[in-house]
A and B are shown apart, each in its own frame.
Chain A
Amino acid sequence: MTDERQLDYWKNQFARKRIGRREFMGRAAALGIGTALATTLASKIAGAEPKRGGSARFGMAHGSTTDSLDPATWPDTFMQVAVGGACSNQLTEINAKGDIVGDLAESFEPGDDTKTWVFRLPKGATFHNGKDVTADDVVASIRHHMGEESESAAKSLLSSITDIKADGPTTVIFTLDGASADFPYVTSDYHLPIMPAVDGKADWQSGVRTGPYVLDKFEPGVRSTGKRNENYHKSGQPYFDDVEFLALTDLTARTNALTTGEVHWMGRCDLKTLNLLERNPDIAITEVTGYGHYVLPMNVTMAPFDNVDVRKALKFAINRQEIVDKIFLGHATAGNDNPIAPTIKYAINPEPIYSYDPDKAKFHLKQAGLSSLKVDLSAADAAFAGAVDAAVLIKEHAAKAGIDVNVVREPNDGYWDNVWLKKGWCASYWSGRPTQDWMFSTAYAKGAAWNETFWDNERFNELLLSARGETDSATRQTLYSEMQQLVHDEGGTVVLVFNNFVDGASKSLAHGDVASNWEADGLKIAERWWFA
């Protein structure tokens, strides 16, 4: 490390309060920095502490006239950030480290086993209209998504809840149909903000919530504004006086808005012109690898994919780095056939790493008793933008390993009906899930509705069940490591890349570590960021 990089490192540690002022001064002195300069540096960095004030404007990549305040319908980042993150709270939230912490809930703990979960609300937390937040409000808000009639996107998510009841004014008890140590992650879903109960039903129409900003104006497809909630239950937050979210779906208009200072932040930068944007001295790009990933699932019940060595041969015959560089212009992270993003708890990077190796691919082909192989790969851009191009690249890569990949370009219309879960090998995507249990039971467990590889591994299914009810951290690490290794070694999914969230922000904005669970700092940019 050069001195300069070392200094940067210690500055960073100091800014994050991992080291004290005294230690920082000492480290700086060791690097030959004079006391005067070090003092200035230290106060400058300490000045990076959040401070209040200012009106922030955000340019969102989504927004439509069909948007509604009803969280059951929230389709994209506009409602999720502008009304979800800025005006509402869920019971829990995921912080930048990937840990689950209380959002509205003050505390949450399992009952006697993890079949029941007890959430406690803070005393004195109020809605924007001054009403106290009670357990009944929580019950109504969650019930809003449950029941036969529900058309909520969160319905299946909550299907494991058998009962939810208020126990006194500030305690809510969830009863599940089975043990689940990760249940608090479920309540962090953006579909589940807490809303006031009116006659036992959640009142979403008024827009009255508990969040950091009071919803002021909401014009669907145009903008949404909020004023600081002076009675917010998290002390200190939020930092902006008021916030405005603009629906700027046109990429060029959004970029112009940022470069001309009309907005302070934009979602989803144009990757093709990103280097030009980076050159702008007033703009900083934030890039985080999210949970979302693009995959090529093989149906392991169909020949030739029913042979584990054929699957391994294909996994070694793909040059993922080239796909990252050429299709995603470097703004993605190559996958290693582990669908768990590195920022998720208990994630590992299983060995051997599936890097491009035609010789190993040939070796596994020989193990399978084959000298050559011909497979169809179905792709359409409906699966993910760039799927067809990626498939064509894979054809070239695999040819060197003696595998003939026939790329079948499928129509976008009806892709999910006619191709996905039907063809032997195709392209697909996952927006990702914040816990291993959630991801695995959605797409890798035996009988899961979206088990796109039809994989049925006895050991894996056993581990999934025992890990779900396990509360000891070390044991869970062991169990989940083994499961990830199994998916990596024997599963039928090629995890091609994890996609990155690439956002642009004015340098007048400051922030701490950026969360990776969703875009826009976990959708909570309005609560977590401030003006430097």
Chain B
Amino acid sequence: MSPILKTVLQRLGLGLITLFAVSIIIFATIEMLPGDFAKAILGQSATPDTVAAFQKRLGLDRPPVERYLNWIGGVAQGDFGVSFAGLGGLGGGQETTVVSLVAPRLANTLFLAGLTAIVAVPLALILGMLAALYRNSFYDRIVNMVTLTSISVPEFFVAYILMLLLAVPHVVFDSPPFYALAKINFDMPFTERVMRSALPVMTLVLVIVAHMMRMTRAAIINLLSSPFIEMARLKGVSPRRIIYRHALPNAWAPIATVIALNLAYLVVGVVVVEVVFVYPGIGQLMVDAVSSRNIPVVQACALIFAATYILLNLIADIVSIVTNPRLLHPR
């Protein structure tokens, strides 16, 4: 078995164990959440009898260990259960599976994250490399200043500023090409979905570019003082080629880690941007589900978030191993 494959399988196994541990934490945390679904939905008319009847129907009267095993057993088979909202008299008994609720929202979130990544990652890498190349130049300082400013300002504020400038009529454009509402759905043609998502994408790009760009710059500058770069320089290799051919391949490990972290953030941490632009993503769904105590949905979302982090970190690890022969052939 090739060493790379072995490492990947090992990491995958570890990832699964982590996920399992996380599932226990999720379940235990939600157990500790005060209030319950019946009370949240029934409000003032929640009598002890109705609440008890409800809990029985939802299976909430059984011991936690049994419920956990039922849930995790189902998840292992790809069954995330049924949303509370469609159970019993509420919703008249029409069952809504958690998957049917989460899947479209997740698709929307991945669409936004993907679009942002396509813009932000190359942009950050290029800006970072150029900043390393022209270190301490006017350009370097300007880029640093702008990106650090944009990361220091809260994202909702960036969002509102962009909205004011680009979506409100008669500020910059008389009839703005951008939309203040990013209410996308999959019936729209692709171009319209992209245009509607433009402002949230811009906001997120501004928020995550600084981190990645600074890390690229720092990693490359760090390498520029190493002996093999000096050797290359002495050979008369051009600065561009030094960075591109000699420094960058050795800098991939830290850059990949930062990119993975930021991509994970794009999936799990953008609820504020979703709220501002009313983007129907998974973050809003989870907040909604927490406030109505729709436990199966909360659990599914939390598990998806955990899996995203674990998976992206795994990929970052693999990238750093593959690009670094020293890690590939450990002595």
Contacts and interface: CB of A to CB of B under 8 A. Distances in A.
A263 B180 CA distance: 10
Given A65-B101, A252-B276, A253-B276, A246 B92 contact: no
A416 B44 CA distance: 7
Contact of A66 (B41, B167, B169, B183): B41
B176 A64 contact: no
Interface string B88-107: 11111010000001001000
B181 A246 contact: yes
Given A151-B90, A246-B181, A260-B167, A64 B277 contact: no
A246 B288 contact: no
B19 interface: no
A251 B50 CA distance: 34
Contacts of A68: 85-86, 90-92, 94
A222 interface: yes
B289 interface: yes
A250 B278 contact: yes
Contacts of B294: 65-66
Interface string A195-231: 0000000001100000000000101111100000000
Nearest to A63: B288
Contact of B92 (A72, A223, A257): A72
A461 to B, nearest CB: 26
B91 A70 contact: yes
Question: Chain B interface secondary structure, helix, strand, loop or mixed?
Answer: helix
Contact of B89 (A151, A256, A263): A151
A66 B85 contact: yes
A257 B275 CA distance: 13
B285 interface: yes
Interface string B63-101: 000000000000000000000011011111010000001
B292 interface: yes
A453 interface: no
Contacts of B181: 246, 248, 253, 256-257, 260, 262-263
Given A66-B85, A68-B85, A151 B278 contact: no
Interface in B96-135: 101, 104
B177 to A, nearest CB: 12
A260 B168 contact: yes
A223 B163 CA distance: 22
Contacts, number: 98
B260 to A, nearest CB: 30
A248 B183 CA distance: 10
Interface in A69-89: 70, 72-73
Contacts of A205: 92, 94
B305 interface: no
A134 B277 CA distance: 45
Contacts of B101: 65
A259 B280 CA distance: 21
A66 B50 contact: no
Given A72-B89, A151-B90, A260 B288 contact: no
B276 A65 contact: no
A64 B288 contact: yes
Contacts of B323: none
Nearest to A153: B45
A261 interface: yes
B180 A219 contact: no
Nearest to A417: B44
A205 B179 CA distance: 34
B250 interface: no
A221 B280 CA distance: 9
B253 to A, nearest CB: 40
Nearest to B176: A260
Given A72-B92, A253-B275, A260 B169 contact: yes
A413 B180 CA distance: 36
A263 B294 CA distance: 30
Interface in B20-46: 41, 44-45
A253 B278 contact: yes
Nearest to A223: B183
B183 A246 contact: yes
B179 A262 contact: yes
A204 B85 CA distance: 16
A86 to B, nearest CB: 18
Given A72-B89, A205-B92, A256-B180, A248 B278 contact: yes
25 contacts: A65-B285, A65-B297, A68-B85, A68-B90, A68-B91, A68-B92, A72-B89, A72-B92, A149-B89, A151-B88, A205-B94, A217-B185, A219-B280, A221-B280, A246-B181, A253-B181, A253-B276, A253-B278, A256-B168, A260-B168, A260-B176, A260-B181, A261-B169, A262-B181, A416-B44
Given A151-B88, A219-B185, A416-B44, 14 more contacts: A65-B85, A65-B101, A65-B285, A66-B91, A68-B85, A70-B91, A73-B90, A150-B89, A204-B92, A219-B104, A222-B185, A253-B180, A256-B167, A259-B168
Interface of A: 64-66, 68, 70, 72-73, 149-153, 204-205, 217, 219-223, 246-248, 250, 252-253, 256-257, 259-263, 416
